Amino acid sequence: MTSRRPGRTQARDLERYASLFSSRTQNMRSSPMRDLMALTARPEVISLAGGLPDTSTFPAEDFAKLMSHMAVKATARALQYGPTEGIDEVREAIVRVMAAEGTDVDGDDILVTTGGQQVIDLVCKTLVDPGDVIIAEAPTYPGAVPTFSAYQAEVIQIEMDEDGMRIDVLEETLERLDREGRRPKFIYTIPNFQNPAGVTMSAPRRRRLVDIAHERELLVLEDNPYGLLRYEGEPLPSLYAMDGGEFVIYLGTFSKILSPGVRVGWAAAPRPVLQRMNIGKASADLCSSTLTQLFVAEYFAAGQWEAYMDELRALYRGRRDVLLESLAKHLPAEASWTRPEGGLFIWATLPDGLDTTDLLAKALSRNVAFVPGRAAFLDGRGGTSMRLNFSGVDEDRLREGVRRIGEVVHEQLDLLGSLTGRRPGAIPRPSERATGAEPRVDPALADVLHLPRREDDASRRSSS
């Protein structure tokens, strides 16, 4: 038996295989969240970088009960292959979950997938040739960026404001593409509590987006992992519900409402698209885990899921508020951030001249992490922004995490002040602030989401 050499991949090892790699791999990039996970796994690190639900809230006794019930009922089935499209009981559970958000769906229009991430991959696999255009939001889900890159898509990112994607800008872009004889393969949107920006697409914009899809016969990928995690305000209809099953592909997942560990998500789509995705899935993994699908089915049959959702919403609402308060206390007056009505993320933008990729290295040395804004763009924008997660750590750690981030931000600002001659005093520390001035928006960065503080944030800041 030959022994394997331990240690890291050497440059000469890479050289040996490089000529075998497909041209596609040149476009592949790793996911910053995945990379960060290795660094943030240490218990002393306060990670606001992940998109992790707090799985410690799931009672261990319930888990044991569900697993043993499933084993008694269906050991042989749980250990067997299943159909590519997913087992019937899970598709029934999905119909119920979508109904809870006011969306009717036929179980036959559903493909169960290995997490929501697989839907993004399968949609690209089904629709995208190298050089094809995908339209996405600016910023977009950082986990979709490596997928779009791997399929060699040209991604055009449309700016957002507090009502979500700017549909007027989308229309201008579609007009321009039309003139160039190009048709985007799909429009990718996360309408509820967007990852990473935290904003929600307004009802009129949803209506207009669906109308555009119909008028121009364009597909829309509606990515909705967070719709049920609403902490305030009224739910809005899904694009899928508005569309009537013609041009919207819906992505759902159990990751944030039950567990990302089960790796069960789904797509609901027009049949011809779904059939192609099914073939694509079969070639990728034959079927999603029967074992975890049966666990999901057992969980929904037990009938407790809505009570658990109430618990999660109460917990995350509290954490969101703590994060908002901490940002007001520790970030400089020129910073701005979003105030999400649900979901897991806040998008914060720092004063010009700061770079969150550089800041991350410093933050990590103080054992705190966030996702730098550039991860949410394909064109290098987002350098002054960061994504902050509030679901994965408790309130005390959230406070401490933001305090440390505030410290590195202020140190960096002081350094910048001494290098550029800008008076550091021009950037007041929290204790020196009187009232909240509106953050300045650099016109060159106007296509990066900068949202002014809301009234309640301003008043919190002045009282802090």
Ligand X SMILES: Cc1ncc(COP(=O)(O)O)c(C=O)c1O
Contacts with ligand X by CB under 6 A lie at: 51, 115-117, 141, 143, 190, 195, 223, 225, 253, 255, 260, 265
CB of 190 vs ligand X, minimal distance in Å: 5
Nearer to ligand X, 189 or 412 (CB): 189
Cα–Cα nearest to 296, from 67, 58, 95: 67
Nearer to ligand X, 121 or 457 (CB): 121
CB of 112 vs ligand X, minimal distance in Å: 12
Distance of CA 3 to the CA centre of its chain: 41
Nearer to ligand X, 74 or 296 (CB): 296
Nearer to ligand X, 235 or 430 (CB): 235
Question: Side-chain half-sphere of 191: how many Cα atoms within 13 Å?
Answer: 30
Per-residue burial over 407-424, b = 16 or more CB atoms within 10 Å of its CB, e = otherwise: ebbbebbeebbeeeeeee
CB of 133 vs ligand X, minimal distance in Å: 20
CB of 194 vs ligand X, minimal distance in Å: 8
β 220-223/248-253 pair status: parallel
Nearer to ligand X, 250 or 337 (CB): 250
Distance of CA 256 to the CA centre of its chain: 11
CB of 261 vs ligand X, minimal distance in Å: 10
Which residue pairs from 461-464 have beta carbons closer than 8 angstroms and sit at least 24 positions apart in sequence? 461/328, 461/329, 461/333, 461/433, 461/435, 461/436, 462/433, 462/434, 462/435, 462/436, 464/325, 464/328, 464/329, 464/430
| Distances, alpha carbon 98 to alpha carbons 93, 127, 403, in Å | 9, 25, 39
- Coil vs helix vs strand at 87: coil
Nearer to ligand X, 255 or 356 (CB): 255
Nearer to ligand X, 32 or 143 (CB): 143
CB of 260 vs ligand X, minimal distance in Å: 5
Nearer to ligand X, 252 or 401 (CB): 252
Cα–Cα nearest to 309, from 227, 239, 365, 251: 227
CB of 227 vs ligand X, minimal distance in Å: 11
| CA distance linking residue 69 with residue 64, whole number of Å | 8
Nearer to ligand X, 143 or 392 (CB): 143
- Coil vs helix vs strand at 123: helix
| CA distance linking residue 269 with residue 287, whole number of Å | 18
| CA distance linking residue 253 with residue 190, whole number of Å | 13
CB of 344 vs ligand X, minimal distance in Å: 8
Amino acid symbol at 214: H
Sheet of strand 336-337, all strands in order from the earlier edge strand to the far edge: 336-337, 345-349, 385-389, 371-372
Nearer to ligand X, 256 or 460 (CB): 256
Give the list of residues 6+ apart from residue 25 with CB closer than 8 angstroms, or none.
none
Q: For ligand X, which residue has the nearest CB?
A: 115
CB of 177 vs ligand X, minimal distance in Å: 24
CB of 3 vs ligand X, minimal distance in Å: 37
Residue 452 CB neighbour total at 10 angstroms = 13
| CA distance linking residue 248 with residue 21, whole number of Å | 35
Task: Provide the token pair at 161.
Answer: 């404001």
Give the list of residues 6+ apart from residue 384 with CB closer than 8 angstroms, or none.
349, 350, 351, 352, 353, 354, 355, 356, 373, 445, 448
Nearer to ligand X, 126 or 255 (CB): 255
CB of 84 vs ligand X, minimal distance in Å: 17
Nearer to ligand X, 223 or 341 (CB): 223
CB of 409 vs ligand X, minimal distance in Å: 25
Please say whether the beta carbons of 267 and 251 come within 8 A: yes
